[in-house]
Amino acid sequence: MTHTIQPNSPEVTPAPDATDVPASTAVAPKPAASAVPAALKRRIPKYSDLAPLMQFKKPEFSKEARLKRASTIWDLRDMAKRRTPQAPFDYTDGAAEGEITLRRAREAFLDIEFRPGILRNVASIDLSTNILGKPSRMPVGIAPTGFTRMMQSEGEYAGSQAAEAAGIPYTLSTMGTASIEDVAAAAPNGRNWFQLYLWTDRDRSLELIERAAKAGNDTLMVTVDTAVAGARLRDVRNGMTIPPALTIKTVLDASYRPAWWFNFLTHEPLTFASLSRYTGTVADLINSMFDPTLTFEDLDWLRETWKGKLVVKGIQTVEDARKVVDHGADGVVLSNHGGRQLDRAPIPFHLLPGVKEAFTKDNSDAAIMLDTGIMSGADIVAALALGADFTLIGRAYLYGLMAGGRAGVDRTLQILEKDMARTMALLGVSKISELTPDHVRLLTK
């Protein structure tokens, strides 16, 4: 409909309806101009604005500063690799054959989902626990490791003293590079355990047991997964020997790591907890010591001989866990020797729920400990939630040792402690006893 204005008519034609205007001629209304906020207007910065931002620090190259920059165990591993010759680093870092077991052990901790609770009071986190009748300030101890002073000259002394300061147990290996007596003297107030390989020569084993008891060790940890040495191919390729051999390759390697060689050559030559001196390959040493004829009768003999706590390390099936407890063990360590013996061996973290269930059915109060693959405090918390009473670290501790001696081991334990406390707080638990299997779900592929 259209409206027109007649000549001389006072009537005003109404404005056309929007529907009366062709779409092609419609004009959208212009938006009102908005003011630019003052905070978004460009300006030349003032010195007073820049001054608080310019907090340049003098570069720090000390060992303490370097270690402080490490936020994870992986960071310490990177430092260790830069500072340690290839042969001893690979001895620590490597595993048997294709290293499948080690890779799977680490992946096991990655293939979980935490299930946190909310609205819990987690202002204070208590990491303390009891293991084998005595308190530990954290649910982790240092596992037995062989040839430790070869990784870094402070070796077992650094490990035992760091454990003493942290209030956790330290385990000296039969193949450790410090004597039972010297470690006890270095950490007189620490909780020292001794790990035993039963030798073919029982008299020599008995001598070690007596020395461990006399030095104040309250726990004997017998390792049972070493009928023969595993095929540790990195060591074979590196020509790993005890002590390290000075070849053209090692001399060239030393040129990039002079501090390691200086420390190694200017300290007392390597000695062992069970041997005065040895020269030869690692595999030859292991095969000369390990007894492939061990049976449960030998465990019975050990139970009668040792009066303290007895732990069996190297358990890889539920059936064997139950059986060693029946033969007098006070605890078990679910372990595949860090993946260094049988490749494609069972993964301790996967074995854990079955062992816990079996011990519960048996009304057993034997301690369940676990090692292999632990690289963070979150890994430890996951293991505790699924039924472990305690955990042990080997490589994680050695990475810290190689990265910075005693200070590096301290840093390892600080990182793990912080990880555990943060993980527990985010899960909504304030103490170890509150962790349950409901806090962890195993992901399936």
- Structure confidence by residue, pLDDT tens digits, 279-314: 556 566 666 667 788 889 999 999 999 999 999 999
Of 43-47, 153-157, 200-204, 244-248, the least confident:
244-248
Helices marked H in 153-199 — which ranges? 155-166, 180-186
SS3 192: strand
Does any domain span residue 47?
Answer: no
Does any domain span residue 405?
Answer: yes
Q: Which of 3, 337, 350, 439 is catalytic?
A: 337
What average pLDDT does range 231-237 have in this prediction?
A: 84
Does any domain span residue 44?
Answer: no
Write down the mean pLDDT value for the chain.
87
Confidence of residue 4 (pLDDT cuts 50, 70, 90): very low
| pLDDT surpasses 70 at 11 | no
Say how far apart CA 241 and CA 329 lie, in whole Å: 35
| pLDDT surpasses 50 at 7 | no
Does any domain span residue 37?
Answer: no
| pLDDT surpasses 70 at 259 | yes
Confidence of residue 45 (pLDDT cuts 50, 70, 90): confident
Total domain count for the chain? 1
Give the pLDDT confidence score for residue 405 in this predicted structure: 95
| pLDDT surpasses 90 at 353 | yes
Judge whether 350 counts as a catalytic residue. no
Does any domain span residue 299?
Answer: yes
Does any domain span residue 323?
Answer: yes
pTM of the shown model: 0.85
Does any domain span residue 43?
Answer: no
Give the pLDDT confidence score for residue 12 in this predicted structure: 46
Residue 3, CA distances (Å) to 20, 93, 218 in order? 11, 94, 110
CATH number for the domain spanning 196: value is: 3.20.20.70
- Check if the beta carbon of residue 287 is closer than 8 Å to that of residue 260: no
Does any domain span residue 229?
Answer: yes
- Check if the beta carbon of residue 309 is closer than 8 Å to that of residue 197: no
> Could you tell me which residue, 277 or 118, shows the higher pLDDT?
118
Say how far apart CA 226 and CA 286 lie, in whole Å: 9
Say how far apart CA 264 and CA 127 lie, in whole Å: 37
List the domain range (segments joined by +) for residue 134.
Answer: 63-442
Give the pLDDT confidence score for residue 22 in this predicted structure: 53
Q: What is the pLDDT of residues 69-127, one digit of tens each?
A: 999 999 999 999 999 988 889 999 999 999 999 999 999 999 999 999 999 999 999 99
Confidence of residue 401 (pLDDT cuts 50, 70, 90): very high
